[in-house]
Structure 1
Amino acid sequence: MESTVLASPVIKVAAICGSIRKASFNRGLLRSAIEISKQSVNGMQIELIDVSPLPMINTDLVVDGRFPPAVEAFRQKVLESDSILFASPEYNYSVTPPLKNAIDWASRPPNVWAGKAAAIVSAGGDSGGGRAQYHLRQIGVFIDLHFINKPEFVLNAFQPPTKFDGEGNLVDPEAKEKLKQVLQALHKFTLRLQGR
């Protein structure tokens, strides 16, 4: 009798970085997440969504109920995703302006974040971006995002051994393993929320 292996259901993940620098450590976390998902997390397709083209939020730019083209394209990507993976640097104990701007645009009615599963990863100094993560979780309450609680991923990027190469790519094996665990938890939680 032939055994059947059931494939893990595929979820679409919108990966959003709060830094718009190309060599950003947080962008490096998302690049690594994409690589890990292809190699060792079945059923996950991660797409990095660039927030740099978004204008600063200004409802005067919404004409006859239509958002600016860059905003509409971003909102559509979020809407079509099953879950969200944020990489959030910490600026002054909080999230960055580009990330908050993206969140605000996508929360305009109709709120395209609502009901989705989400996870946060961050790299930075002392706290590894932890304080920004707590602010992002607070924002998530209002926009109806559902964050995984465990595992948490905060990475002190400046503590030896070297975590990133000169181009901002994650090279630390232990951090990659923790990142894989976050992706696995996000996959499982997304399916649970969707009743799959």
Structure 2
Amino acid sequence: MESALSLKPIVNVAAICGSLRKASFNHGLIRSAIDLTKQSVDGMAIEYVDISPLPMLNTDLEIDGKYPPAVEVFRQKILQSDCFLFASPEYNYSVTAPLKNAIDWASRPPNVWADKAAAIVSAGGGFGGGRSQYILRQSGVYLDLHFINKPEFFLNAFESPPKFDDEGNLIDAAAKERLRAVLLALKAFTLRLQGM
């Protein structure tokens, strides 16, 4: 029988996409990250957490210390995760409204983001969604989230050769390797924060 000490810890990751469009490039990054954990990143399991059912933040919906059912489910998934992978598209130099809404719901007392590791990836035009990452990092300061600093992952989705197929799946080998490096850094930092 294998001893408990020889078992590798599993890092449970909640993956959150700021785009609600199923074929979005940022959804493609999350799908690729999930595939990578099954192929070449041991000891890590990623669960995609859908933020589309969340109502817009309104504290009138908090009744007798309880949140709406969709919010309660979301908060539990965040609470039970070891760390987070954000796929953050850039809208108007910032994060998307659905992503900010999800962040704010999970920060309501008690803040379920606190003292956990996180990484951000993004795909888009120009700077590849990079400006949204800076805004998300600023929110993370108040949330007590600990973002990995390196490697960074911004991907210009419109450069040639194509980075994604017609269904939004990541097909660029170099980008997949960069994404794998992000996952390995997130795993290492999470275990470090947990004292392992």
Q: TM-score range by the shorter chain?
A: over 0.9
The 5 Å alignment of 1:42-53 reads 42-53=42-53
Residue in structure 2 matched with residue 164 of structure 1 by the alignment: 164
Structure 1 residues without counterparts, runs of 5 or longer: none
Question: Structure 1 runs of 4+ off > 6 angstroms?
Answer: none
Q: Within 2, Cα distance between the matches of 1:124 and 1:38?
A: 26
Residue in structure 2 matched with residue 146 of structure 1 by the alignment: 146
State the AA in 1 paired with 2:103: I
State the AA in 1 paired with 2:79: L
Q: Do 1:94 and 1:132's aligned partners in 2 also have CA atoms closer than 8 Å?
A: yes
Q: Within 2, Cα distance between the matches of 1:7 and 1:64?
A: 43
Q: Within 2, Cα distance between the matches of 1:193 and 1:158?
A: 36
Structure 2 residues without counterparts, runs of 5 or longer: none
**Secondary structure, aligned partner of 2:39:** helix
TM-score when normalising by structure 1: 0.97
Deviation string 1:16-58 (CA, Å, 9 cap, x unpaired) is: 0000000000000000000001110010010000000000000
Question: What is the number of residues matched between the two proteins?
Answer: 192
Aligned-pair CA distance for 1:7 = 4.7
The 5 Å alignment of 1:71-110 reads 71-110=71-110
State the AA in 2 paired with 1:171: I
Over the aligned positions, Cα root-mean-square deviation in angstroms equals 1.0
Residue in structure 2 matched with residue 125 of structure 1 by the alignment: 125
Q: Within 2, Cα distance between the matches of 1:13 and 1:175?
A: 20
TM-score when normalising by structure 2: 0.97
Q: Within 2, Cα distance between the matches of 1:153 and 1:19?
A: 17
Q: Within 2, Cα distance between the matches of 1:37 and 1:7?
A: 17
Task: Check if 1:59 corresponds to 2:59.
Answer: yes
Residue in structure 2 matched with residue 192 of structure 1 by the alignment: 192
Give % identity: 73
State the AA in 2 paired with 1:55: P
Aligned-pair CA distance for 1:9 = 1.6
